[in-house]
C-alpha cells in the first residue's frame, strides 16, 4: 500500500456509513429494465448532494454527473437496473431490504451492480476534496436498460448525447481485480411450423414440437464443437426457452419456437454463428432469426437494435489496464489479477462497437449475480471507493501514453 493509497482508504473509511446507507436505499427501490425512474431519481439526489459540477438525466434516462473539465475524459459506468427476483420465498433475506448483517449487505443488486454506483460516487467526492487533476474530466453514469440490452445505454450517451469518453471503467463485479474483456453474444430464435389437428386425430396433423426435437439435439452437439480461446474461453450455445401455439391442450401444436443464447469467443462472428444455426442437420424448413430489441426507456425514449453484442478484449499491456491496476495496488498493497468476465457488459458498446478502451473494476463476486444470494462485503465497498478516487490521478499520469494508444 502506498502513502496515497493509505490516505484514500482513510478518506473512504470516513464515508463508510454514507456509502452503506446509499447502497441500501438503492436496493430498497425495485428497478427492472425500463422501470428505473424512482431509483434514478434517488441517484440524482445523491449526486447533487455530493456537489458535482453538473448532474442531469439524458434523454434515455441515464443519470450523468461531471467533475472537472480537462481534455482527458474518463467515464465510470455502473448500470442501475437489475433483473427480477423470481420467487421471493427462495430468498433468505428480503431482496428489497438491503439487509446489513455481519459486515455484509444482502439483496437484489447488492453485487450486480449497485455497489459500483455508490462507490464511484463517493470516490469522486473524495477525489474532488483533493482536487480533480487539471487535465481530467470525470463522468459518472448510473445507466439504464443494461440487463435487457447491454451496451445500448452507452451507445445512446455517446452517439446521441455527444459525451464521448477517451476511456471507460465499468462497475460490473470483478472481486477487486481488473478485467479487460469478455465473450460477445447473440440472441436468436428457431421456429418450426406444423399443422394443427385434434389430439384424438393427431395423425392428421404435423406436430411442430416433434419437428423441434432433433433440432434441440443438433444444438447440444454444436455446443461441443465451438471454438476455444485461451483467454476468453470457449464459445457456447444453449437453448434457453421453448414456446408453441396450439388451439387447445387437446390439439397438435402448429408452431414451436426456441430461444438461443450464443456466446461468441475470440475469432467468432455474428455471421458465422447465424450460419451455424442455419446449417443444423435437422433444421429443414425451420426459420432462424436474430432477435431485435425494441423497448421504451423509463423516460419514453425508444431503444432499438439487433440483439448482437460484440466480443471485445483490451490488450493486457494497454496503459488503461496498467493505470487502473496501479491504483488498485496502491490501495490494496498487492497486484490485482488481470482477467475477464464470463458474462456480458456495457463494454460491448464502448469497446466492442466503438473501440473506446475499456476495463472493469468493482467489488463483488461475479458468480453471485442474478442469484437469490447476492451480497457484498462492507469492507470491499470502502476499498473500492478508495481505488475509484485514485484512478483519475493514475490515468492522468499516463495521459501521454493513453493519447498515443488512442492515436
Annotated catalytic sites, by residue? Answer: 81, 146
CA distance linking residue 385 with residue 362, whole number of Å: 9
Q: What gap in Å lies between CA 29 and CA 23, rounded to an integer? A: 10
The Cβ of residue 318 has, within 10 Å, a number of other Cβ atoms equal to: 18
For residue 264, the Cα-to-chain-centroid distance in whole angstroms is 16
Q: Which is nearest to 384 in space by CA: 80, 120, 128?
A: 120
What is the DSSP track for 199-244? GGGGGGSB-HHHHHHHHHHHHHHHHHH--EETTTEE-EEEEEEEEE
**Among residues 38, 18, 32, 27, which one has the least CA distance to residue 105?**
27
Residue pair 157/62 in contact (Cβ under 8 Å)? The answer is yes
Phi, psi of 61 (to 5 degrees): 115, 0
- State how far the Cα of 137 lies from the Cα of 74, in Å rounded to an integer: 6
Phi, psi of 323 (to 5 degrees): -65, -45
User: CA-CA distances (angstroms) from residue 360 to 88, 102, 116, 174, 347?
Assistant: 31, 27, 10, 7, 9
Reduced to 3 states (helix: H, G, I; strand: E, B; else coil), residue 2 is coil
Alpha carbons 148 and 160: distance in angstroms, whole number: 19
Amino acid at each position: 500500500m502506498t502513502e496515497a493509497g493509505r490516505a484514500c482508504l482513510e478518506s473512504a473509511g470516513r464515508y463508510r456509513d454514507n456509502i452503506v446507507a446509499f447502497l441500501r436505499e438503492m436496493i430498497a427501490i425495485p428497478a427492472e429494465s425500463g422501470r428505473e425512474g424512482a431509483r434514478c431519481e434517488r441517484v440524482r439526489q445523491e449526486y447533487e448532494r455530493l456537489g458535482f459540477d453538473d448532474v442531469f438525466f439524458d434523454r434515455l434516462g441515464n443519470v450523468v454527473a461531471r467533475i472537472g473539465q480537462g481534455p482527458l475524459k474518463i467515464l465510470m459506468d455502473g448500470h442501475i437496473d437489475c433483473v427480477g427476483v423470481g420467487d421471493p420465498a427462495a430468498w433468505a433475506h428480503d431482496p428489497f431490504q438491503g439487509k446489513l448483517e455481519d459486515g455484509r449487505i444482502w439483496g437484489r443488486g447488492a453485487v450486480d451492480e449497485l455497489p459500483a454506483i455508490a462507490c464511484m460516487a463517493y470516490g469522486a467526492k473524495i477525489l474532488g476534496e483533493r482536487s480533480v487533476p487539471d487535465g481530467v474530466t470525470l463522468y459518472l453514469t448510473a445507466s439504464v436498460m443494461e440487463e435487457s440490452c447491454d451496451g445500448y445505454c452507452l451507445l445512446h450517451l455517446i452517439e446521441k448525447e455527444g459525451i464521448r469518453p477517451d476511456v471507460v471503467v465499468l462497475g460490473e463485479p470483478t472481486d477487486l481485480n481488473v478485467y479487460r474483456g469478455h465473450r460477445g453474444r447473440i440472441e436468436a430464435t428457431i421456429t418450426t411450423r406444423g399443422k394443427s389437428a385434434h389430439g384424438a386425430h393427431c395423425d392428421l396433423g404435423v406436430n411442430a414440437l416433434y419437428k423441434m426435437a432433433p433440432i434441440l439435439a443438433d444444438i447440444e452437439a454444436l455446443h461441443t464443437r465451438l471454438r476455444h480461446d485461451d483467454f476468453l474461453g470457449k464459445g457456447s450455445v444453449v437453448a434457453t426457452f421453448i414456446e408453441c401455439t396450439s388451439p387447445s391442450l387437446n390439439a397438435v401444436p402448429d408452431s414451436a419456437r426456441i430461444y438461443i443464447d450464443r456466446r461468441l469467443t475470440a475469432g467468432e462472428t455474428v455471421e458465422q454463428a447465424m450460419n451455424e444455426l442455419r446449417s443444423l442437420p435437422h433444421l429443414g424448413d425451420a426459420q432462424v432469426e436474430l432477435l431485435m430489441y425494441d423497448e421504451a426507456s423509463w423516460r419514453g425514449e425508444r431503444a432499438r437494435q439487433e440483439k448482437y453484442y460484440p466480443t471485445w478484449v483490451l490488450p493486457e499491456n494497454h496503459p488503461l489496464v496498467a493505470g487502473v491496476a496501479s491504483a488498485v495496488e496502491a490501495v490494496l498493497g498487492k497486484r490485482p489479477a488481470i482477467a475477464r468476465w464470463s458474462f456480458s457488459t456495457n463494454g460491448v458498446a464502448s469497446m466492442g462497437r466503438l473501440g473506446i478502451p475499456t476495463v472493469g473494476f468493482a467489488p463483488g463476486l461475479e458468480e453471485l449475480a442474478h442469484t437469490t444470494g447476492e451480497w457484498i462485503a462492507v469492507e470491499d465497498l470502502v476499498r473500492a471507493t478508495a481505488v475509484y478516487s485514485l484512478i483519475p490521478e493514475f490515468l492522468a499520469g499516463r495521459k501521454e501514453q493513453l493519447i498515443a494508444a488512442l492515436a
